[in-house]
Chains A and B, each alone.
Chain A
């Protein structure tokens, strides 16, 4: 299925679509308020972009520096070339400790690697502890947004899910009470967790620390109660210096939700005596993306979700329509690197309006990359046949002025004379499914212009 076909499913519920659209736009407005209240925000964006550009240009050095410092801190570092190896490493660590109960805080990387089903298959109980993540885990769904994983759901959906799984009263859809239920349910899991898995927002090369940002406190609670902490990170999470965090902590949440900072910005550097800390560094296609000059900048992403909140297509099609771990504009430039054929429709799920680029806190040229992926996909023959042939036909017509003007005359007459059902048939004119073609003018501009010349 293509992006537009999956969007059709989302769009069946018009009321929900409108809610989704307006809610995310509200988050975008909160972002604007926070950004405009920070006088040096544009300078911070440039700094963030430059720091990430520099880091990517010396990534081999920073990876090794980070590893060396982490080792010195008593942390064990593991390297995974792909998702499978990442999952094997994590399972291996769990088995080494005889652990069967794992609490996990938010990590898009472990979603990307499909860690949960892998661990469950091997007899491990893995509990997502971020509220949104827990909701979708109970529903066996994927997150539909990087920061707001359950934004595709209404409180009635959550009420039903909690009624089914956590025994709340049917029809109790109060967010306050549902959150309280989740708190009690997850508290038990936290207290019983043997191993805690966390994602990583930033990895500081000069100190070997990993920084995790949450509002709920689930990462700190899980990690600080468990015997073993496994932090999983993509290799692009590195930043060189501790002081660079001052830039990134200032832009991350302002861009994401309009908050001045997350409630918890936690720096994990050394394990407590008697406990263990592991870091798994994952490639899974990232080094390959680093080698694509046109698309390299996508690795600068700090997963704030601002491009999703602002995107007119994302807001009206929902995260699941992208069918990729990272949805929205940034997902549409990351996904073809992983599987060009499977995700071929995503770079077309954009109006190229550039709003994503405008809000990106690390200045990724997202809409330019979307446009460039279209060229790559076209050359690789990965665009739908109808589009391929119509483009070929159109380029022939546009190359020959005579054919173009004849085509115009035929179209103007045709629109006037042919029945509406024929000119607007969705089968070959999908553009007209929800739109009216314009009233055909009597003459073209060129015909009119020729008449003016004749008059003089």
Chain B
């Protein structure tokens, strides 16, 4: 009788057996403290501006549309679940051609991290997973009370990372040519946080 195993299964078994044979005796897993720190909007703003992001204070959340129109050309093709006048309807099934034409995406950020200027954007806030990177410009709305100090406190807030989610910190950038910083590599050319 032949015992037939697929090559994939056998590699799995081979690898796991080798790992089991070669790994050392168990070492302890440390507890990670919830390191605290400055969680002010000032710190968050300073760090984010330092990495190329912009921060705009919105005094009245009801006037979000007005602020957007003040910051960007009025004829921009906008995708957003937050603005009734957004002209590009986007959902998970939206075609690549339509996505590629979006000039501004205005999305809700869940919370910010003061130590590094990052904002948690889960899939549910993106309309389409590619929207925050494919759009020409990105604006994230963030409530100033939703700023934590460190990444430890950030992950402590997340009971789950969902299907997809990203910490987004500033505009897309690169320094691959002679270490010269260039903003707008592949993703959004600018990233603005609207602090409400």
Instruction: List residues of chain A with CB under 8 Å of any chain B CB.
Output: 23, 26-27, 38, 40, 43, 47, 50-51, 53-54, 56-60, 63-64, 73, 78-81, 85, 89, 129-132, 135, 148-151, 153-155, 158, 175-176, 178-180, 182-183, 186-187, 190-191, 207, 209, 215-218, 220-221, 224-225, 235, 240, 242-247, 249-250, 257, 259-273, 281, 283, 287-288, 290-291, 293, 296
Evaluate contact between B164 and A247: CB separation under 8 angstroms. no
Q: Name which residue of chain A comes closest to B128, CB basis.
A: A224
Query: What is the bound-complex CA distance between A287 and B51, given in angstroms?
Result: 39
Q: Of B18, B20, B22, B186, which is within 8 A of A187 by CB?
A: B186
- Extra pairs beyond A180-B184, A216-B187, A287-B22 (10, CB < 8 Å): A43-B33, A51-B30, A56-B23, A58-B26, A215-B173, A246-B154, A246-B156, A257-B175, A260-B115, A288-B18
Query: What is the bound-complex CA distance between A187 and B14, given in angstroms?
Result: 41
**29 sample A-B contacts, Cβ–Cβ < 8 Å, listed by A number:** A81-B11, A130-B176, A131-B176, A158-B177, A158-B178, A175-B178, A179-B174, A179-B182, A187-B100, A187-B186, A190-B186, A191-B97, A207-B160, A217-B188, A220-B132, A220-B166, A220-B187, A243-B152, A249-B167, A260-B116, A260-B117, A261-B167, A263-B168, A264-B133, A264-B168, A264-B172, A269-B161, A287-B15, A288-B18
Point out the residues of chain A lying under 8 angstroms from B70, CB to CB: none
**Which residues 148-173 of B sit at the A interface, judged by CB distance below 8 A?**
150-152, 154-156, 158, 160-173
Nearest 10 A-B pairs (CB), nearest first? Answer: A217-B187, A291-B22, A132-B176, A260-B116, A224-B130, A216-B185, A287-B18, A270-B163, A175-B180, A261-B116
Cβ of B47 to closest chain A Cβ, rounded Å: 6
Point out the residues of chain A lying under 8 angstroms from B180, CB to CB: 155, 175-176
Evaluate contact between A79 and B176: CB separation under 8 angstroms. no
Point out the residues of chain A lying under 8 angstroms from B129, CB to CB: 220, 224, 272
- What sequence of 0s and 1s flags, for each residue 54-77 of chain B, a beta carbon within 8 Å of any chain A beta carbon? 000000000000000000000000
Query: What is the bound-complex CA distance between A414 and B23, given in angstroms?
Result: 56
User: Which among A89, A130, A263 has the highest number of chain B CB atoms within 10 Å?
Assistant: A263
Evaluate contact between B176 and A265: CB separation under 8 angstroms. no
B29 at the interface (CB under 8 A from A): yes
Query: What is the bound-complex CA distance between A176 and B183, given in angstroms?
Result: 8
B3 at the interface (CB under 8 A from A): no
Evaluate contact between A273 and B92: CB separation under 8 angstroms. yes
Q: Of A155, A158, A180, A283, which is within 8 A of B18 by CB?
A: A283
Q: Name which residue of chain A comes closest to B171, CB basis.
A: A263
Cβ of A300 to closest chain B Cβ, rounded Å: 12
Q: Of B29, B115, B171, B175, which is within 8 A of A240 by CB?
A: B29
B25 at the interface (CB under 8 A from A): yes
Evaluate contact between B164 and A51: CB separation under 8 angstroms. no
Cβ of B116 to closest chain A Cβ, rounded Å: 4
Evaluate contact between B166 and A264: CB separation under 8 angstroms. yes
B1 at the interface (CB under 8 A from A): no
Query: What is the bound-complex CA distance between A62 and B22, given in angstroms?
Result: 15
Evaluate contact between B185 and A57: CB separation under 8 angstroms. no
User: Which among A260, A291, A293 has the highest number of chain B CB atoms within 10 Å?
Assistant: A260
Query: What is the bound-complex CA distance between A246 and B175, given in angstroms?
Result: 25
Evaluate contact between B169 and A261: CB separation under 8 angstroms. yes
Query: What is the bound-complex CA distance between A87 and B134, given in angstroms?
Result: 29
Query: What is the bound-complex CA distance between A243 and B152, given in angstroms?
Result: 7
Q: Name which residue of chain B comes closest to A213, CB basis.
A: B167
Query: What is the bound-complex CA distance between A435 and B89, given in angstroms?
Result: 70
Q: Count the B residues whose beta carbon is within 8 Å of the partner chain — how many? A: 75
Point out the residues of chain A lying under 8 angstroms from B182, CB to CB: 175-176, 179
B4 at the interface (CB under 8 A from A): no
**Which residues 40-62 of B sit at the A interface, judged by CB distance below 8 A?**
47, 51
Cβ of A94 to closest chain B Cβ, rounded Å: 16
Q: Name which residue of chain A comes closest to B134, CB basis.
A: A221
Evaluate contact between A56 and B24: CB separation under 8 angstroms. yes
Cβ of A5 to closest chain B Cβ, rounded Å: 27
Evaluate contact between B178 and A50: CB separation under 8 angstroms. no
Point out the residues of chain A lying under 8 angstroms from B156, CB to CB: 243, 246
Query: What is the bound-complex CA distance between A139 and B22, given in angstroms?
Result: 40
Q: A59-B19, A246-B152, A263-B171 are in contact. Are A293 and B24 (CB under 8 A)?
A: yes
Evaluate contact between A246 and B163: CB separation under 8 angstroms. no
Q: Name which residue of chain A comes closest to B13, CB basis.
A: A79
Point out the residues of chain A lying under 8 angstroms from B15, CB to CB: 63, 79, 81, 235, 281, 283, 287
Q: Name which residue of chain A comes closest to B153, CB basis.
A: A246
B28 at the interface (CB under 8 A from A): yes
Q: Name which residue of chain B comes closest to A262, CB basis.
A: B169
Cβ of A294 to closest chain B Cβ, rounded Å: 12
Q: Name which residue of chain A comes closest to B24, CB basis.
A: A57
Evaluate contact between B170 and A221: CB separation under 8 angstroms. no
Query: What is the bound-complex CA distance between A216 and B115, given in angstroms?
Result: 21
Evaluate contact between A63 and B19: CB separation under 8 angstroms. yes
Q: Of A79, A130, A257, A262, which is within 8 A of B12 by CB?
A: A79
Q: Name which residue of chain B comes closest to A54, CB basis.
A: B29
Q: Name which residue of chain A comes closest to B162, CB basis.
A: A269
B141 at the interface (CB under 8 A from A): no
Q: A150-B176, A216-B174 are in contact. Are A40 and B35 (CB under 8 A)?
A: yes
Evaluate contact between B27 and A54: CB separation under 8 angstroms. yes
Evaluate contact between A154 and B32: CB separation under 8 angstroms. no
Evaluate contact between B51 and A290: CB separation under 8 angstroms. no
Evaluate contact between A183 and B185: CB separation under 8 angstroms. yes
Q: A220-B187, A250-B150 are in contact. Are A63 and B16 (CB under 8 A)?
A: yes
Point out the residues of chain A lying under 8 angstroms from B24, CB to CB: 56-57, 293, 296
Cβ of B13 to closest chain A Cβ, rounded Å: 9
Q: Name which residue of chain A comes closest to B7, CB basis.
A: A85
Q: Of A154, A190, A257, A296, which is within 8 A of B178 by CB?
A: A154
User: Which among B12, B129, B178, B187 has the highest number of chain A CB atoms within 10 Å?
Assistant: B178
Cβ of A386 to closest chain B Cβ, rounded Å: 36
Q: Name which residue of chain B comes closest to A55, CB basis.
A: B29
Q: Of A183, A261, A296, which is within 8 A of B184 by CB?
A: A183
